[in-house]
Amino acid sequence: MKNALIIGASGQIGKKLTQIMVNNQQNVVALVRDKSKLSDIKGEHLTIVEGDLKKDFSHAFNQSENKQCDTVVFVAGSGGSTGADQTLLIDLWAACRAVDYAKANNVKHFVMISSIGADKPEKGSEQMQPYLVAKHMADEHLINSGLLYSIIRPGSLTDFDPSSKFTSERPAQKDQATITRGDVAKALLFCVNNPPTDNTIVELFNGEEPIEEVL
């Protein structure tokens, strides 16, 4: 089992992943803006680090003096209710800096939560295009970094109960191109513990297969 730095650990997916890894007794460094958001997760395997993604957050990468950080998971996001300025600062620029910090700290595997549509931003709706461009460029920065990477591009996120069933085939019906946040967290856990031998970019939806068949 691997250890991980989770960037965006107080978010809806990030918190689920943090909880599962701590329950599994895997070492987690959780980067958050506000420690109190993780006050309900306890365990000797959890190190909470405060940091703002709009400032220098390199300190989060060297928390474990005797334990090399195997994996970085970038699951932060500016959120749908903010404007393009925050999208630029968090989804693009902070993600790129996380890649640079990971490289400087010899991280072995970088897992990026991207988005469906990030491969072809111009095909997205006018409203979504700035977000998709940000995700696209952050993915490109990771692809060109030389790090081993897994880029996960989930469909629209939902809060239904997780099914533990997945597909990487984009459903024909747009309203079925969804995945629960709980299942994204499970997929990320699999990804952390089973780093790919080759760099991977995959769209992810709820489907019919177990995660090991899809990733």
Ligand X SMILES: NC(=O)c1ccc[n+]([C@@H]2O[C@H](COP(=O)([O-])OP(=O)(O)OC[C@H]3O[C@@H](n4cnc5c(N)ncnc54)[C@H](OP(=O)(O)O)[C@@H]3O)[C@@H](O)[C@H]2O)c1
Kindly list the catalytic residues. Answer: 131
Closer CB to ligand X, 85 or 208, in the complex: 85
Q: H helices within 50-94, ranges in order?
A: 84-86
Helix (H) and strand (E) counts in the chain: 6, 10
Closer CB to ligand X, 71 or 115, in the complex: 115
Using CB atoms, what's the residue nearest to ligand X?
A: 11
Closer CB to ligand X, 34 or 66, in the complex: 34
Shortest CB 135 distance to ligand X, Å = 7
Q: H helices within the chain, ranges in order?
A: 12-23, 84-86, 95-104, 129-143, 181-193, 211-214
Q: Helix, strand or coil for residue 152?
A: strand
**Exposed e or buried b per residue across 137-166, where buried means at least 16 C-beta atoms within 10 angstroms of its C-beta:** bbbebbeeeebbbbbbbbbebeeeebeeeb
Contacts with ligand X by CB under 6 A lie at 8, 10-14, 33-34, 37, 52-54, 75-79, 90-91, 113, 115, 154, 156-157, 181
Pairing of strands 166-167, 200-206: antiparallel
Shortest CB 197 distance to ligand X, Å = 25
Which helix or strand (DSSP H or E) is residue 1 part of?
Answer: none
Shortest CB 66 distance to ligand X, Å = 26
For residue 145, the Cα-to-chain-centroid distance in whole angstroms is 17
Structure tokens at 215: 């990733």
Shortest CB 104 distance to ligand X, Å = 19
Closer CB to ligand X, 77 or 207, in the complex: 77
